[in-house]
Amino acid sequence: MAPKTKATIADVARAAGVSTATAGRVLGGYGYTSEAKKEQVLKAAQNLGYRPNALARSLITGTTRTIGVVAGDIQNPFYASVLRGISNVAEANGFGLLITNSDEVQSKEVHSVELLAQKQVDGLIVTPSDTRRARHLHNLRSMGVPLVLIDRAVAGLMVDRVATDNIAAAEQAVRYLIAAGHRRIGIVAELVDEESGGLNAFLTHAIAGDPIESETLYPSWQRLLGYIRAHRIEGLPVDPRLTLRAGSYSAIAAQEIVPHLMTASDPPTALFTTDGTMSEGAMRALSELKLKIPQDLSLICFDDLDWMSFHRPGITTVAQPRLAMGEAAARMLLERIRGEDYPPRTVLMPAELVERGSVARL
Amino acid sequence: MAPKTKATIADVARAAGVSTATAGRVLGGYGYTSEAKKEQVLKAAQNLGYRPNALARSLITGTTRTIGVVAGDIQNPFYASVLRGISNVAEANGFGLLITNSDEVQSKEVHSVELLAQKQVDGLIVTPSDTRRARHLHNLRSMGVPLVLIDRAVAGLMVDRVATDNIAAAEQAVRYLIAAGHRRIGIVAELVDEESGGLNAFLTHAIAGDPIESETLYPSWQRLLGYIRAHRIEGLPVDPRLTLRAGSYSAIAAQEIVPHLMTASDPPTALFTTDGTMSEGAMRALSELKLKIPQDLSLICFDDLDWMSFHRPGITTVAQPRLAMGEAAARMLLERIRGEDYPPRTVLMPAELVERGSVARL
DNA sequence: CTCATATGTGAGAACGTTCTCGCTAAATTT
DNA sequence: AAATTTAGCGAGAACGTTCTCACATATGAG
């Protein structure tokens, strides 16, 4: 029944009494074959338990029907959802998914991209960990490997990209807080990479309303920018002491920094956390400080994580369409793989402010 | 600099003025080569931007350095963590990861396994969606493809397996509740597949203490068994009305069923939820019912999800070593791929009861 | 000096497919 | 009736590697 050794197309051909070419035609579904031989071959294949070797096929067709993904960390709900979105459309189109983690470390990302390229993926979806140095990605482009960026852009790399409209999303959230009467609003953001001149320089520029090249900013910087814009629009000053930088993409970092803000002399009445991880860290800190939400502190988070809906009170949050982002990215990539030749597209997806009970009116 | 077309080993050989065999030797790092030629070849490869084609290599070596994973749903924190564990050891050993979702649907799982097998993965890690019908997995074994099962077993399929010791874990949690004075303890479990005779027959058998073949039980049934054993050990009767079956692996199902229990005439004083998804659904329901934990209801969950630690009160839970499970599975698989030939091993990992504040002493 | 061993090299087969070509026979058009 | 097209099939060349072999050359032992 189940054969001990794998059967090749030649074995099937021999068993069916035809040439490998004919066997290949019926098994591969290309070219002409008579009904009679088709049945013979199919029966022989069935008996031998023939399973096509995708490697050999890919070697000659030049396509693997596999797409490579470099995510930051599969375990992170953001990436997990994005991946699921990618997986959905990949699967629907008969594509496999080769997934790696970069941990937001450039060297790992380079290594991953190299691995995936060697495995001859038909295209890549990457969340670049460095928005400037990206030789490996430029290199891919010059080799003609389709590439789609998620969540972040790379300066000078003109490729398809899908991201959240971070500035608008943050601006909306912060204006919502201001509309509720809040005047001192804290923000806790990752802000991992030094923008030229650092946080202070960025703040003074942004507060002054200087034009800022925001496209290639990291998402957390974009969200900070939205925070600042909301203040400017509403005619409110920005107090730099209210802008908290975690400095790394970790909940612990957020958790450690929040207490400084809340135990200071003039604490904020509302807090805005700029992504799921920061939200989690902040929640840990607030929980330990035994602060009541929203009585002691109003809160708007970023990313709609499971617990935010059943937490009491419900957490008002900016929901990114994570699944849809993954799906959009995969669809764009598949179009490129099919050879469609648009100019590079940027899809900015709107985030939705989900109102729950974590914001008090002052 | 960056070449427009991909260079093959033959191109490199030509440029270096050696044979493809020699070029292959230095590039592939096998056999003898003189220092002089080695340098020539390396330089030529550098100039041409040579990137080895893993497909061609795999076709001849018969190994792809890729392992396939069939998970239920990447988006689910349980699978996300397990996957991360797998990824960690795979990456450390230079293996790639081909990941698919089965959504716990048998037909999708079969399809995934077939896809991965065609792509010639060196081995598979699967969370089987059906513990009985698994022809595709038996088939893999007979073809000599290494296979490791996670979380569940398949009747009659003797392969390496890693899972949580669900019975012991549930027993410990429920005994903990009993020790705290609880006498009416509800359980909300998935229990998706009809065990022979259904839930009632299972209950009567288990309560009577009949020997039960527990190895191939689905995790939720095992945890129910642990719940029953705890009652038996402590000399407490099991009230079938307290055993809630969600019937599907979804938070919504759990959310819908919990209110029936809590608004009944004789509600439990404590609740045990048997996995992360059930916990989430139950929390939703409890939140809507505005029940205070632990004053109105004590609670022990399964799986240590992020929010459980900063929820107020903290949620006491049975923490599965999800990451370690993935790592263990990957390590076992790699051993098999290397050709090590033990008899099939089952690794039952202990879960840890994390005490927080969701259990009241009566 | 001869024989064995280690080091180095290239020609060409192999891996399992798809693809190109040439050949037949039948069907259709001119 | 001749000319073309179409269906059907097989031989054998690709794809880009690794691997096996045969053959050098150098080194050292006896």
pLDDT tens per residue across span A29-53: 888 899 999 999 999 999 999 999 9
Asked if the Cβ of residue A21 lies within 7 A of any atom of strand D, the reply is: yes
Å between A109 CA and nearest CA of chain B:
12
What pLDDT is stored for residue A192 in this prediction? Answer: 87
Å between B148 CA and nearest CA of chain A:
19
CA–CA dist A324, A348 (Å, integer)? 11
pLDDT of A205 over the 80 cut: yes
Asked if B77's CB is within 8 angstroms of A80's CB, the reply is: yes
Within 24-43 of chain A, which residues have Cβ less than 7 Å from strand C? Answer: 24, 27-28, 30-31
Query: Could you say which of 3.30.1490.480, 3.40.50.2000, 3.40.50.2300, 3.40.1390.30 is the CATH number of the domain covering B166-320?
Result: 3.40.50.2300
Å between B77 CA and nearest CA of chain A:
7
Copy the structure tokens of residue A150: 């998620």
Classified by CATH at the fold level, domain A64-164+323-349 comes out as Rossmann fold (3.40.50)
Q: How distant is C1' of C3 from CA of B25, in Å?
A: 29
Sign of CA dihedral A213, A216, A221, A226: positive
Using the C1' atom of nucleotide C6, identify the protein residue whose alpha carbon is closest. B32
Residue B309 one-letter amino acid = S
Residue A185 one-letter amino acid = I
Interface of B with A in 257-286 (CB under 8 A): 280, 283-284, 286
A4 — pLDDT class (breaks 50, 70, 90): low
What pLDDT is stored for residue B193 in this prediction? Answer: 76
Q: How distant is C1' of C21 from CA of B63, in Å?
A: 33
pLDDT of B30 over the 80 cut: yes
Within 40-69 of chain B, which residues have Cβ less than 7 Å from strand C? Answer: 56, 59-60
In strand D, the nucleotides that come within 7 Å of a protein beta carbon are: 7-20
What is the 3-state composition of chain A as percent helix, strand, coil, each rounded to the nearest 5?
45, 15, 40
Whether the link from the prior residue into A294 is cis, omega within 30° of 0, is yes
Asked if B87's CB is within 8 angstroms of A144's CB, the reply is: no
Question: Does residue B278 contact residue B339 with C-beta atoms inside 8 Å?
Answer: no
Asked if the Cβ of residue B54 lies within 7 A of any atom of strand D, the reply is: no
In this predicted model, what pLDDT tens digit does every residue of A340-358 receive, in sequence order?
999 999 999 999 999 999 9
Residue B135: half-sphere exposure toward Cβ, Cα within 13 Å: 5
Residues facing residue A245 across a β-bridge? A189
Whether the link from the prior residue into A267 is cis, omega within 30° of 0, is no
Q: Give contacts of B84 with chain A, Cβ < 8 Å.
A: 73-75, 101
Beta strand A185-189 pairing with A243-245:
parallel
Instruction: Give Cβ neighbours of residue B312 (< 8 Å, ≥ 6 apart).
Output: A287, B357
* Helix orientation angle between B20-28 and B35-48, rounded to the nearest 10 degrees: 90
What pLDDT is stored for residue A80 in this prediction? Answer: 98
- CATH 1.10.260.40 domain span(s) along chain A: 9-52
Torsion angle (degrees, nearest 10) of CA B31, B36, B37, B38: 60
Instruction: Give Cβ neighbours of residue B16 (< 8 Å, ≥ 6 apart).
Output: B23, B37, B40, B41, B43, B44, B45
In this predicted model, what pLDDT tens digit does every residue of A60-119 receive, in sequence order?
999 999 999 999 999 999 999 999 999 999 999 999 999 999 999 999 999 999 999 999
A1 — pLDDT class (breaks 50, 70, 90): very low
The position carrying tokens 């080993």 is B9
Query: What are the start-end ranges of the H helices in chain A?
Result: 9-16, 20-28, 35-48, 54-61, 77-92, 106-118, 135-142, 166-179, 198-208, 219-233, 251-262, 276-288, 306-310, 322-337
Torsion angle (degrees, nearest 10) of CA B327, B333, B338, B339: 150
- CATH 3.40.50.2300 domain span(s) along chain B: 64-164+323-349, 166-320
Å between B216 CA and nearest CA of chain A:
24
Q: How distant is C1' of C10 from CA of A98, in Å?
A: 37
What pLDDT is stored for residue B311 in this prediction? Answer: 94
Q: Is B120 on the interface with A (CB under 8 A)?
A: yes
Q: Give contacts of A51 with chain B, Cβ < 8 Å.
A: 114, 117-118
In this predicted model, what pLDDT tens digit does every residue of B245-283 receive, in sequence order?
999 999 999 999 999 999 988 999 999 999 999 999 999
Q: What is the DSSP letter of A319?
A: E
CA–CA dist A24, A52 (Å, integer)? 10
- Nearest CA among B303, B301, B322 for reference residue B163: B322
Q: Edge-to-edge strands of the sheet including B270-273?
A: B243-245, B185-189, B270-273, B298-302, B316-319, B352-354
Q: Round the average pLDDT of chain A to a whole number and report it.
A: 94
Instruction: Give Cβ neighbours of residue A225 (< 8 Å, ≥ 6 apart).
Output: A167, A170, A206, A212, A214, A217
What pLDDT is stored for residue B103 in this prediction? Answer: 96
Asked if the Cβ of residue A60 lies within 7 A of any atom of strand C, the reply is: yes
Instruction: Name the residue of chain B whose CA is nearest to A307's CA.
Output: B307
In this predicted model, what pLDDT tens digit does every residue of B166-210 receive, in sequence order?
999 999 999 999 999 999 999 999 998 766 778 999 999 999 989
Q: Give contacts of B56 with chain A, Cβ < 8 Å.
A: 59
Beta strand A316-319 pairing with A270-273:
unpaired
Q: Give contacts of B287 with chain A, Cβ < 8 Å.
A: 310-312
Q: How distant is C1' of D9 from CA of A116, in Å?
A: 39
Q: Give contacts of B310 with chain A, Cβ < 8 Å.
A: 280, 283-284, 286-287
How large is the average pLDDT for residues A294-303?
A: 97
Q: What is the DSSP letter of B144?
A: T
What's chain B's length in residues? 362
What pLDDT is stored for residue A29 in this prediction? Answer: 86
Asked if B64's CB is within 8 angstroms of A118's CB, the reply is: no
Question: Does residue A131 contact residue A103 with C-beta atoms inside 8 Å?
Answer: no
List the single residue in A117, A280, A286 with the smallest CB-CB distance to B51.
Answer: A117
Residue B329: its H or E element: helix B322-337
Instruction: Name the residue of chain A whose CA is nearest to B55's CA.
Output: A55
CA–CA dist A260, A325 (Å, integer)? 35
Cβ atoms < 10 Å from Cβ of B208: 9
Q: How distant is C1' of D15 from CA of A151, in Å?
A: 37
Copy the structure tokens of residue B12: 């490199």
Å between A291 CA and nearest CA of chain B:
11
Which of helix, strand or coil describes residue A34? coil
The phi-psi region of residue A151 (left if phi > 0; otherwise alpha if psi is between -120 and 50; otherwise beta) is left
Q: Give contacts of A280 with chain B, Cβ < 8 Å.
A: 306-307, 310
Interface of A with B in 301-360 (CB under 8 A): 305-307, 309-312, 323
Copy the structure tokens of residue A147: 């590439």
Å between B277 CA and nearest CA of chain A:
10
Instruction: Give Cβ neighbours of residue B279 (< 8 Å, ≥ 6 apart).
Output: B254, B273, B301, B302, B303, B305, B308, B315, B317
List the single residue in B59, B73, B138 with the smallest CB-CB distance to A55.
Answer: B59
Question: Does residue B251 contact residue B188 with C-beta atoms inside 8 Å?
Answer: no
CA–CA dist B248, A304 (Å, integer)? 24
Query: Could you say which of 1.10.620.20, 1.10.260.40, 3.40.190.10, 3.40.50.2300 is the CATH number of the domain covering A9-52?
Result: 1.10.260.40
- Nearest CA among A74, A123, A118 for reference residue A100: A74
- Nearest CA among A325, A74, A32 for reference residue B85: A74
Q: Is A119 on the interface with B (CB under 8 A)?
A: yes
Å between A67 CA and nearest CA of chain B:
10
Query: What are the start-end ranges of the H helices in B198-321?
Result: 198-208, 219-233, 251-262, 276-288, 306-310
B4 — pLDDT class (breaks 50, 70, 90): low
Question: Does residue A223 contact residue A170 with C-beta atoms inside 8 Å?
Answer: yes
Asked if A100's CB is within 8 angstroms of B100's CB, the reply is: no
Rg value, chain B, Cα = 26
Residue B27: its H or E element: helix B20-28
Q: How distant is C1' of D9 from CA of A31, in Å?
A: 11
How large is the average pLDDT for residues A201-210?
A: 91
Asked if A80's CB is within 8 angstroms of B118's CB, the reply is: no
Using the C1' atom of nucleotide C13, identify the protein residue whose alpha carbon is closest. B60
Q: Is B250 on the interface with A (CB under 8 A)?
A: no
Residue A99: its H or E element: strand A96-101
Q: Round the average pLDDT of chain B to a whole number and report it.
A: 94
